[in-house]
Amino acid sequence: MKKYRDLIAYFLLAYAITWVFHLAGLRLAEAAGSGISNESNYLAITGWLTGSAAAPAGQAALVFSLGAGPLLAALIVTAFTNGRAGLAEMGRSLLNWRVGWKGIALAFGLPLGFALLALVVGLVSGQVSLASYQPLLPWSALLPYFVFMFIFTGIWEEPGWRGFALPRLQKFFPAERASWILGPLWALWHAPVNYQFSPVKGPGFISYLLISMVAIVGFTIVFTWLYNNHNGSLFLMVLMHGWYNVVQTYLVTSFGNMMLATVFNILPWLLAIYLLKRYGSENLGPQPRQVAS
């Protein structure tokens, strides 16, 4: 267990920091009679700052959004274990935006492709109707909402999940196994807010959580493949994570259709299976990953 000490410290710290803010934000939102979601947080915070929304709701959303556990835990553990050199390396990866047009196209195209394909499946099967579309945010908010998601999901999370945890996991485990470890731990991190949205409460929530853990592994494998094949660009991970949430809001969640949301979560698994067959589970790419000596 000693060789995994840094990883254990990171995950425990990431959970502790995030859950303190998330639970506090959820409690404040309940008291204010408001909800917590990416869309409501954006509206509440921007409305509060511009004076067009009630302060309690905006304050609750802000407290929740400050739960940057993955980022802060990565910075803290890196500072203790690798010092300034480790922090500088993380910073260079975060600013590594020169990933080529293919990398940028994949970061934007994959989430959009998943959403559009899920929508086609829903429309063809007759389970989704365009008439049911009720955008949770106005289309005029697309760019500022993307900036919001780029910061509060991309930067808040990816320096931890892909900047810290993934490269260390891949030193000890093949790329696929590393993804199977990271994915459920990433899903567990969402537990407080997932409990709010879960259709079942109490002990039944455990089944709901386990399903979400398996679902997120497919997306984690796709992330690992993109990371391993683009020089470990943390910027690319931040970009795709933020954009994924934007696409989900406008093209999936706004339909309020469970079948559409389910297909949207299954499609990354289909791509993951293809990637594993093409590149193999060891490295998920043509280049060997860095391993522990």
Would you say residue 288 has pLDDT above 90?
no
Report the alpha-carbon distance of residue 242 to residue 154 in Å, rounded. 5
61-to-23, 90, 217, 287 alpha-carbon distances in Å: 11, 28, 28, 42
Would you say residue 188 has pLDDT above 70?
yes
Would you say residue 275 has pLDDT above 80?
yes
* Position with higher pLDDT, 22 vs 53: 22
Closest to 237 measured CA to CA, from 156, 177, 169 = 156
Domain ranges in the chain are: 2-279
pLDDT confidence of residue 293: 43
How many CB atoms sit inside 10 A of residue 128's CB? 20
Report the alpha-carbon distance of residue 219 to residue 115 in Å, rounded. 13
How many CB atoms sit inside 10 A of residue 202's CB? 8
pLDDT confidence of residue 276: 97
* Position with higher pLDDT, 82 vs 248: 248
Tell me the one-letter amino acid at 36: I
94-to-25, 86, 144, 147, 231 alpha-carbon distances in Å: 28, 12, 21, 16, 12
Would you say residue 292 has pLDDT above 80?
no
Would you say residue 283 has pLDDT above 50?
yes
Report the alpha-carbon distance of residue 49 to residue 58 in Å, rounded. 8
CB 248 within 8 A of CB 264: yes
Q: Which of 76-85, 131-140, 202-211, 228-237 has the lowest mean pLDDT?
A: 202-211
* Position with higher pLDDT, 32 vs 71: 71
Closest to 227 measured CA to CA, from 239, 216, 236 = 236
Model confidence pLDDT, tens digit, residues 89-144: 888 888 877 888 999 999 999 999 999 999 999 999 999 999 999 999 999 999 99
Helices and strands: H and E segment counts in the chain: 13, 0
Q: How many CA atoms within 13 Å lie on the side-chain side of 120?
A: 7
Would you say residue 37 has pLDDT above 50?
yes
CB 183 within 8 A of CB 169: no
Closest to 148 measured CA to CA, from 41, 35, 14, 19 = 41
Closest to 43 measured CA to CA, from 255, 251, 249 = 249
What is the full DSSP assignment across 220-257? HHHHHHHHHTTTT-HHHHHHHHHHHHHHHHHHTGGGT-
pLDDT confidence of residue 286: 85
pTM of the predicted model, to two decimals?
0.93
With helix as H, strand as E and coil as C, how does 54-109 read? Answer: CHHHHHHHHHHHCCCHHHHHHHHHHHHHHHHHHHHHHHHHHCCCCCHHHHHHHHHH
